[in-house]
Amino acid sequence: MITIKDIARVAGVSHTTVSRALNGNPLIKKETRDRIEKIAAEMNYIPNYSAKSLVMKKSYTIGLFFSSIDQGTTASFLVDAIKGIHHVLDENYSLTVHGIDSIQHFDAIMPQRFDGILVMSQSDEDNAFIYHVKKMCIPLVVLNRQLEDTGIMNVVANDRIGVMEAIDYAASQGHSRFAIIEGRAGFKSSIERKQGFIDSLIAHRLPLIPEYFAAGDYAVESGYTAMCSLLALPEPPSIVFCANDDMAIGAMNACYAQGITIPEQLSLIGFDDIVFARYTNPALTTIHRPVADISKLGTTKLIELMKDPDTPPQQLFVNTTLMVRQSVAAV
């Protein structure tokens, strides 16, 4: 491996000059710089990141942390996040992926190892981690879950409003017996989506019926189970809002199994707009959650924060979009 010292020897200058030349330091005469850059290129010089890290106290690493990699995180969510970040992130940063639930010692999370951290947060339980990062003064952006603390950069989709729009739409189609299959207990998104559901019903002066609130955990299977229990009610709902598409697919399946046709006998609304949503039968009307956009914006903000740690924290909202397809009937 060749180093700046090797280049210095060839160029007949000191290694410091080489370092400066290669890092765009204005103290170097233009012709010297050009000559050194040429030599460096010819010698195929590649900087040693370990050495750089040691002296600069930078790691050239961005950490992406999910609440959990195994549980409650749908595949498309994780992938869209990674895609979004890669889209914005400079090539000489590398992105490491972690699950908060599998971290043994927070001590290993320190400025030395991460220039910046993105937390794809789903639950309050991440707070311990988030505050550790903050205490360590590592530039931090929390994505996807709205924080009470306005001292932290935060990028989220406005789930609640997204749901309200969807319910408004369904109400405009004449529906009045609304049920919900809720998300995983403890997840902020579950609460928000439920609240949007409730708010919209209240705004339309529709009744909140306790039996129409079914528990779920974001997994496909839980949608199936919850739908079965809803269908077993003496008077089933005319429309069911599922807190994510995975559960909506499970729910749809339960309907097939019981010979209920969608949307004629029962309407269905999902949340997320995963790839498969447009390929269910009928195609699922759902709320598009802009995970990739959130990730992109979050990464942009993180980069700002790394450049200038005093950038004032903001709470940024990214809009959801209602995707009207075929799973809601007019009644």
Partner DNA sequence: ATGGAAAATGCACACGTGAAAAATATTTCA
Partner DNA sequence: TGAAATATTTTTCACGTGTGCATTTTCCAT
Q: Which residues bind a second copy (CB under 8 A)?
A: 1, 44, 46, 48-51, 53-54, 57, 59, 61, 63, 69-70, 73, 75-76, 78-80, 82-83, 86, 91-92, 94-99, 102-104, 107-108, 110, 112-113, 220, 224, 246, 249-250, 252-253, 256, 275-276, 279, 281
Cβ at position 291, least distance to a second copy in Å: 11
Cβ at position 181, least distance to DNA in Å: 51
Residue 217: other Cβ atoms inside 10 A? 23
Place of tokens 């989709």: 157
Examine residue 28 and tell whether it contacts DNA (CB under 7 A): yes
Examine residue 5 and tell whether it contacts DNA (CB under 7 A): yes
What does 256 bind: DNA, a second copy, none (CB cut-off 5 to 8 Å by kind)? a second copy
Examine residue 13 and tell whether it contacts DNA (CB under 7 A): yes
Which CB sits closer to a second copy, 206 or 283? Answer: 283
Examine residue 23 and tell whether it contacts DNA (CB under 7 A): yes
Which CB sits closer to DNA, 29 or 83? Answer: 29
What does 44 bind: DNA, a second copy, none (CB cut-off 5 to 8 Å by kind)? a second copy
Lay out the sheet containing 178-181: strands in order across. 213-214, 178-181, 239-242, 267-272, 285-288, 321-323
What does 76 bind: DNA, a second copy, none (CB cut-off 5 to 8 Å by kind)? a second copy
Of 6-14, 116-124, 279-287, 291-299, which part binds DNA (CB under 7 A)?
A: 6-14
Which CB sits closer to a second copy, 101 or 125? Answer: 101
Interaction residues for DNA, span 46-105 (CB under 7 A)? 47-48, 51-52, 54-56
Q: Report CA 312 to chain centroid distance, whole Å.
A: 21
Cβ 291 vs Cβ 84: under 8 Å: yes
Interaction residues for DNA, span 187-216 (CB under 7 A)? none
What does 250 bind: a second copy, DNA, none (CB cut-off 5 to 8 Å by kind)? a second copy
Cβ at position 147, least distance to a second copy in Å: 25
Cβ at position 216, least distance to a second copy in Å: 14
What does 16 bind: DNA, a second copy, none (CB cut-off 5 to 8 Å by kind)? DNA
CA pair distance 48, 46, nearest whole angstrom: 6
> Binding-site residue total for DNA (CB under 7 A)?
28
Query: Which residues would be at the binding site for DNA (CB under 7 A)?
Result: 1, 3-5, 12-17, 19-20, 22-23, 25-30, 32, 47-48, 51-52, 54-56
